């Protein structure tokens, strides 16, 4: 099993290219199930989750063709992928596939809308909380689906097709909003989604669906109107830059000092994080071609955050921010409101010398002058990269184990950081 070896104490200077967003690519790929034409997606990142979803879509009969530059070691990047679901050969998403990635449950929406039936395994447990599928079931039921849960599977049918409806989400859910958008695009009549997720990834999906012939208005606000159409066509769409990767590398620069251009990054999709990082002493300015991040000479200052749905501070940056605050002057309070059990990185950061106290869903971080390298273990995707951020500033060597978590959401992380001066390498067992 691979690990990441880091020798801390090196400033970051240079350029880091920002990849396409995993959280946008996954629902876009699933949208290919809605049409028998080809959906072409540009800027698809090379990640373990993307490869797993390709296998899941192939199980349903989706053909794909990958185009993109190929480096000498065989890694793809800046890829374009054609997805063609001309014939759906199976409406069942089995447990052995769905259990490996929760987002694969989202195939229930387009399969049901296009085929009138979907049988999808319940996803099972999740390291960062229960993340139930009740909102998915409720919104599909509102659209006229008949739902039965049997032997660990959600069996949804709509023999006469889905019908538009008004549905108010009892709480904001990005995944359920994705599924509702895809399902309602082929429903008869108008659907109104209230208290919908406002994330940029939702807007990206809606823009792609509109390019395919859907009629969606209001994506990016909390009320979305969808006028159903009889069929969708193929389209070409570009995956947006990854705001979580952008924020993560900004924090890495802040942790080590230096000056880095995050090439291709945008600012409007993570403004809440930019504001907090400014309070912490990190300068972030938009420039032609990306976003410049620098911290030269000034120390880090403690700041408080509470995770919120967009446009609030993203839960997917919480662990990274905690890693940053371990060396800030003063005491910061980090409150997690989205997921339970998302503080598993605390004990691993403590192995590096961090001073963190937990009280329910709030972590109190008292900055320390020195972190010291040690072997640590990644527990989930975002937790793993928080350990990398801390390791970049720790004295001596840090070894991050279980880095398969990193490979799910960060493309060529060690290469990108290494090119800017970090002493970091992947070590194969």
Q: What is the DSSP letter of 275?
A: H
Q: Number of helices (H) and strands (E), helices first, in the chain?
A: 14, 24
Is residue 22 marked as binding? yes
Among 126, 204, 208, 420, the active-site one is: 126
Is residue 316 marked as binding? yes
What is the residue whose two structure tokens read 């120390």?
Answer: 299
| 208 labelled catalytic | no
Closest CA to 253 of 320, 168, 308: 320
Is residue 173 marked as binding? yes
Exposure of 252 in the CB half-sphere (CA atoms within 13 A): 33
Is residue 91 marked as binding? no
Is residue 133 marked as binding? yes
Is residue 172 marked as binding? yes
Is residue 66 marked as binding? no
Q: Name the region of 160 (left: φ>0; alpha: ψ -120 to 50; beta: rest).
A: alpha
Is residue 171 marked as binding? yes
Exposure of 61 in the CB half-sphere (CA atoms within 13 A): 15
Is residue 369 marked as binding? no
Is residue 174 marked as binding? yes
Is residue 151 marked as binding? no
Q: What tokens were used for 273?
A: 């994080």
Closest CA to 123 of 142, 149, 160, 143: 149
Is residue 232 marked as binding? no
Instruction: State how far the Cα of 299 lies from the Cα of 388, in Å rounded to an integer.
Output: 20
Instruction: State how far the Cα of 11 lies from the Cα of 74, in Å rounded to an integer.
Output: 29
202-205's contacts with Cβ under 8 Å and 24+ in sequence apart are 202/174, 202/177, 202/178, 204/21, 204/24, 204/28, 204/237, 204/239, 204/240, 205/24, 205/27, 205/28, 205/31, 205/178, 205/181
Residues carrying an active site annotation: 126
Residues contributing to the annotated binding site: 22-23, 102, 131-135, 171-174, 316, 338
Binding site for UDP-N-acetyl-alpha-D-glucosamine: what residues are annotated?
102, 131-135, 171-174, 316, 338
Q: Which residues are annotated as a binding site for phosphoenolpyruvate?
A: 22-23
């Amino acid at each position: 099993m691979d690990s990441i070896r880091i020798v801390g104490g090196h400033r970051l200077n240079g350029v880091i290219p920002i990849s396409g967003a995993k959280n946008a690519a996954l629902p876009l790929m699933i949208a290919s199930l809605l049409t028998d034409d080809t959906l072409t997606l540009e800027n698809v990142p090379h990640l373990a989750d993307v490869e797993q979803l390709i296998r899941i879509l192939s199980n349903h009969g989706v053909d794909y063709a990958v185009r993109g530059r190929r480096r000498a070691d065989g890694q793809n990047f800046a890829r374009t992928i054609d997805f063609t679901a001309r014939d759906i050969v199976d409406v069942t998403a089995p447990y052995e596939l769905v259990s490996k990635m929760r987002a694969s449950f989202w195939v229930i929406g387009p399969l049901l809308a296009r085929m009138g039936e979907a049988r999808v395994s319940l996803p099972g447990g999740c390291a960062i909380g229960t993340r139930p599928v009740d909102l998915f079931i409720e919104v599909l039921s509102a659209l006229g689906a008949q739902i039965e849960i049997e032997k660990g599977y959600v069996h949804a049918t709509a023999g006469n097709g889905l019908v538009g409806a008004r549905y108010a989400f009892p709480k904001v859910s990005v995944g359920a909003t994705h599924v509702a958008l895809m399902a309602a695009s082929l429903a008869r009549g108008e659907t109104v989604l209230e208290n919908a997720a406002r994330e940029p990834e939702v807007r990206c999906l809606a823009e792609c669906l509109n390019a395919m012939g859907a009629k969606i208005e209001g994506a990016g606000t909390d009320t979305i109107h969808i006028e159903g159409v009889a069929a969708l066509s193929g389209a070409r769409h570009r995956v947006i830059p990854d705001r979580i990767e952008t924020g993560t590398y900004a924090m890495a620069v802040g942790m080590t000092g230096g000056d880095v251009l995050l090439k291709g990054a945008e600012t409007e999709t993570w403004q809440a994080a930019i504001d907090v990082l400014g309070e912490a002493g990190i300068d972030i300015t938009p420039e032609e071609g990306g976003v410049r991040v620098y911290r030269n000479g000034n120390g880090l200052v403690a700041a408080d955050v509470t995770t919120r749905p967009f446009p609030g501070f993203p839960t997917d940056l919480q662990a990274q921010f905690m890693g940053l605050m371990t060396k800030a002057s003063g005491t910061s309070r980090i409150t997690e409101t989205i997921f339970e059990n998302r503080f598993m990185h605390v004990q691993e950061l403590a192995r590096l010398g961090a001073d963190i106290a937990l009280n329910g869903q709030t972590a109190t971080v008292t900055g320390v002058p020195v972190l010291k390298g040690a072997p640590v273990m990644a527990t989930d995707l975002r937790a793993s990269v928080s350990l990398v951020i801390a390791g970049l500033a720790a004295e001596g060597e840090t070894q991050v184990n279980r880095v398969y978590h990193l490979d799910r959401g960060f493309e060529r992380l060690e290469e990108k950081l290494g090119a800017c001066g970090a002493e970091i390498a992947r070590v194969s067992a």
